Structure 1
């Protein structure tokens, strides 16, 4: 009996020691793997170059995202570690569609958090004050990665697609900087810009001066577009608007070159001649009374406010100072205006003579 118990005791001790050794080994292995996992989560991804991006499409799984990283020359590492990290971060099955920037310091943790939270790349597109619809459409067509839905549409079809059939497109898109993401289209941007202009125009018209000589907010938009083209100096806009408002009040023609240029269309080559001023078009404010039939450009918010709240005064004329500042000299009489024009011509000729030949 004693020998049998001794053998059993020895066997039990061996089993316990073996089990303990296996447990210690498992703990050591687990600790090693945990340290490796933590190091993986925050280590920069290998092979990422500046300017690289990752596009997550609708229906993409974590596995397909990792394949896209590999295809881009980036070594993502162990798939199991990605799956564990995704569960830890609450990103499993919740990757949002979009484009994500990859910087050289990007780690699996930062990338999964970005995809979980939808921190996609946001690009910017600026509509410049004074652009016309041709300028705007040409600029949109050059934007890379922006889906082009309007390339085959003429202006009438474009406005119909935006939900405004029959509306002339000129002046209807607010000059501003708009953020967009991959998957957006030019029609999306135009829709937002159109809505922004409608809001700004409504606000400017609601705050208009009581005596402004305009019958509708559409007329305000037309006048604002002229003001926008006449000066790039912000503080001059109310004064410019004041000149045109007084001309409208007394029935004097606006006689503004930008409307003539707009009416010339593709025939304008950079110079306006006397014959252009006398050639009648719907936009020639030298040959026709009142405002032209549509805006001639995209006015900014400041020009809208100037058109609806023009500056008081008695000036009926203005001409460029000609000193390179872009500013204008305002006159109340034709005689004073003609003197200002002569001074401008003299400065211009003197500058031309001083240019090296």
Structure 2
């Protein structure tokens, strides 16, 4: 009897030891530190949309941040994570346990990315900037930018689409796709165009898109924020009188070369709807993505009687304004003399 009791006691002790051993192992699998960031430059991992569990493991192994992949996989399986993978940019913490890591990845709680764009002339450049920050490819963005059917549903066409984008810094999730990016920009556009701003546009006889077109011209004419309302007022004066804008930025756009410093009379003969020396009214679309300062300059244009302007001969970036053609010609002559003195022919 005593031996039997001893054997049973020994058996139970063995069971307890086994339980402790495996329990300790499972505890370590779940709660022990398994993320080591001591040797990596960035704490982020990037998981593409639609990634499989095998692809996720390859990403983690490639990053070298997981100390024990076996334990990670065991916890992931127990939490049914392989069937609930969510793409995104995730910030890891040094010493994270498998439990915390899987919970974070499974929840989709990712860190947003700051996407900043300003001073952009071409949509191709915008696509490059956004594609360099997000998962979406720049080619995919450009394909959407020229999708007439899709952008038509937003109230734009391929010529007016630059008016949609407002230069700023935006927080976006890394796995935002092309349509997701454009939808976000449309929300920002709608938020910008308050009823007050729309009312100001109507008072000037302009649509929201026409404000953006004129703002793009103003932005190209002057980088001086304090001068933009003056320039906007001048172009509004010409529009009201039915005068051709004769805006150099539109001609440079038509010629496809904004580096030109001196336009020639022959340039003004180019047959393009963007050539405002040849055609009256606004061009079909913005000549660049307009700045918020440019948009506000048009909406709050300065009231005056100027109809002409010419860059100042001191090359300060400001302009001489004139009410009459004779005054303008005198200003232009001084500027041409300075161009000649500096040897600027083109």
Match of 1:245 in 2: 236
SS in 2 for 1:288: coil
Q: Matches of 2:72 and 2:92 in 1, distance apart?
A: 21
1:107 corresponds to 2:109: no
| TM-score normalised over the length of structure 2 | 0.73
Aligned residue runs from structure 1 range 174-213, under 5 A: 174-176=165-167, 177-181=169-173, 183-194=175-186, 196-197=188-189, 200-201=192-193, 203=195, 205-208=197-200, 211-212=203-204
Q: In structure 1, which of residues 122, 140, 149 is the aligned counterpart of residue 140 of structure 2?
A: 149
Greater Cα shift, 178-187 or 303-312: 178-187
For residues 62-103 of structure 1, the C-alpha deviation after alignment (integer angstroms, 9 at most, x for no partner) is x7744553465565416356645886xx78567441134576
Q: Which residue of 2 aligns with 1:159?
A: 148
**Structure 1 range deviating more: 269-278 or 220-229:** 269-278
For 1:68-83, list aligned pairs within 5 A. 68-70=59-61, 75-77=66-68, 79-80=70-71, 83=74
1:256 shift after superposition: 0.9
Rg larger for: 1
Q: 1:296/1:11 Cα in 2 relative to 1: closer, same or farther (>3 Å)?
A: same
1: CA distance, partners of 2:312 / 2:340:
13
| 1:222-272, Cα deviation, whole Å (9 max, x unpaired) | 322222222222232211111111222333332210111222347x77352
5+ long unaligned stretches in structure 2: none
**Given that residues 99 and 181 in structure 1 are in contact (C-alpha distance below 8 angstroms), is that contact kept between their aligned partners in structure 2?**
yes
Q: Greater shift after overlay, 171-180 or 23-32?
A: 23-32
Contact preservation (8 Å) 1:124, 1:180: yes
Which residue is equivalent to 1:131? 121
CA RMSD of aligned residues (A): 4.4
CA distance in structure 1 between the aligned counterparts of 2:77 and 2:38, rounded to whole angstroms: 19
Q: Using the alignment, how far apart are the partners of 1:325 and 1:113 within structure 2?
A: 58
Counterpart contact for 2:223–2:317, Cα < 8 Å: yes
Residue equivalent to 1:292: 283
Instruction: Count how many residue pairs are aligned between Structure 1 and Structure 2.
Output: 338
Please name the residue that 1:53 is paired with: 45
Paired with 1:304 and 1:145, the residues of 2 have a C-alpha distance of 30
- 77-86 or 170-179: bigger deviation: 77-86
Whether the aligned pair in 2 keeps the contact of 1:238 and 1:307 (CA below 8 Å) is yes
Contact in 1 for aligned 2:250/2:283 (Cα 8 Å): yes
- Correspondences of 1:1-357 after superposition (within 5 Å): 8=1, 10-11=2-3, 14-15=6-7, 18=10, 21-22=13-14, 25=17, 29=21, 33=25, 36-37=28-29, 40-41=32-33, 43-44=35-36, 50=42, 53-55=45-47, 58=50, 60-61=52-53, 65-66=56-57, 68-70=59-61, 75-77=66-68, 79-80=70-71, 83-84=74-75, 92=81, 95-101=84-90, 105=94, 107-109=96-98, 111-120=101-110, 122-133=112-123, 135-136=125-126, 145-147=135-137, 148-149=139-140, 155=146, 158-164=147-153, 167-170=157-160, 171-176=162-167, 177-181=169-173, 183-194=175-186, 196-197=188-189, 200-201=192-193, 203=195, 205-208=197-200, 211-212=203-204, 214-265=205-256, 270=260, 272-321=263-312, 325-345=316-336
C-alpha distance in 1 between matches for 2:96 and 2:308: 64
Q: TM-score, normalised by structure 1?
A: 0.71
- Note if contact 2:253-2:274 (Cα within 8 Å) is conserved in structure 1: yes
Partners of 2:48 and 2:135 within 8 A in 1: no
> In 2, are the aligned partners of 1:228 and 1:300 still within 8 Å (CA)?
yes
